[in-house]
Amino acid sequence: MKKYKIGYTTGVFDMFHIGHLNILKKAKEQCDYLIVGVSTDSLVNEYKHKLPIIPFEERAEIVRSIKYVDQVVPQTTMDKYVAWKELHYNVIFHGDDWKNSQMYKDMEDKLTKEGVEFVYFPYTKGISSTILSEKVNNN
């Protein structure tokens, strides 16, 4: 039996790469059911001030096809409490690059009161969608 029943993780998953796969695999190793919130194009534009290269529906389909993923939902807000009210997950998985951000500290304060645990995985160094975009643009 795995440690958690329902896990939740989120991301843009633009230009899907090994770092994305690492998080999904590690998350599924710890939970029976893994829900993945894929950020909508409008949400990405709102907080990154740019649109993803791959449109939302295609990114969601890519993530949906990964064997570690049980369910894909659109992430329309960065507020994980909104998602918790609908999905009732008991753990959030995320890369440790967000761990000390004020946004995640606030979410931890709110969600731990609901019994939600936070598990941070080491960020996969040297790879990101931004790095991939820069490499493509420089060639």
Q: How confident is the model at residue 1 (pLDDT cuts 50, 70, 90)?
A: low
Cα–Cα dist 135/137, whole Å: 5
Question: pLDDT value at position 46?
Answer: 95
Whether residue 35 is predicted with pLDDT greater than 60 in this model: the reply is yes
**61-117 residue pLDDT tens:** 999 999 999 999 999 999 999 999 999 999 999 988 777 888 888 999 999 999 999
CB atoms near residue 91 (< 10 Å): 21
pLDDT confidence tier of residue 129, bands split at 50, 70 and 90: low
Residue 97 lies in domain: 4-138
- In the Cβ-directed half-sphere of 89, how many Cα atoms lie within 13 Å? 30
Distance from C-alpha of 43 to C-alpha of 74, rounded to nearest angstrom = 10
Mean of the per-residue pLDDT values of the chain: 90
Predicted confidence at residue 57, as pLDDT, reads 98
Count of structural domains, the chain: 1
CATH number at residue 60: 3.40.50.620
Nearest-CA neighbor of 121 among 11, 6, 5, 33? Answer: 11
Strand order in the sheet with 71-75: 71-75, 31-39, 4-11, 91-95, 117-121
